[in-house]
Amino acid sequence: MLPPGLPLRALAGAAICTLVVGVTMAATSSLPGDVAVARAIQALSPGTDWVPGFISTAYAPAKFALMAIAVLGTWRLAGIRAAAVVLVFIVLEQLLGEASKSLFHRPRPSRELVAVMGNPSGFSFPSTFVTLYSVTVGALVLVAWRFARGAKRVGVIAVGSALLILAGVARVVPGAHWPSDVLGTYAICLSWLYAALSFLPRPPS
């Protein structure tokens, strides 16, 4: 059974989150603490050699494997309807993720403030690498949290959460995004995913 009012509350929360985060990102080039946190993450990272290999998971053919794991894993954890929800979000991310940057026009981090690897182009928010990880790995985490039980639930959440953190770090270490870009992208994507999944009833305990 669905908790009374949960889907509507989740939708309202996602809408409010999107509005607050979106307006904030459009109005600022960075948030207080972004520079300090980005420098700390860069200082703690064992160089940048690991970054390109990890980032390559967002490009074909690796990204299709990531998508397949998300859809099939969701199917195993929660059934066909949950898998369909995740598939819809993956399609929307692929169609709209990059185009949505033009809504915010947030500049990339400056070389004068943090180390920047290469020459990142375009805008900084949302991070399309993070949007992809949100609708794949993030979707698995949310599905496991809402529908799975026991060791399977703990395992998926632990591994998935670690990958989500690593994905965010992989965009801050090379200076491609501010920490607030990463957190804001996760907040919007995961709140809408949670809202959509909240319409599906949990299995009996």
Within 10 Å of residue 53's Cβ, how many Cβ atoms?
10
pLDDT of residue 201: 87
145-155 pLDDT, tens per residue?
Answer: 999 999 999 99
Place of tokens 């794949």: 136
Domain boundaries, the chain: 6-197
95-145 pLDDT, tens per residue?
Answer: 999 999 999 999 999 999 999 999 999 999 999 999 999 999 999 999 999
Q: What is the pTM of this model?
A: 0.95
pLDDT of residue 191: 98
pLDDT of residue 5: 73
Q: Which of 79-103 are b and which e, b meaning 16 or more Cβ less than 10 Å from the residue's Cβ?
A: eeebbebbbebbeebeeebeebbee
Alpha carbons 79 and 65: distance in angstroms, whole number:
19
Mean predicted confidence (pLDDT) in 8-37: 97
Alpha carbons 51 and 53: distance in angstroms, whole number:
6
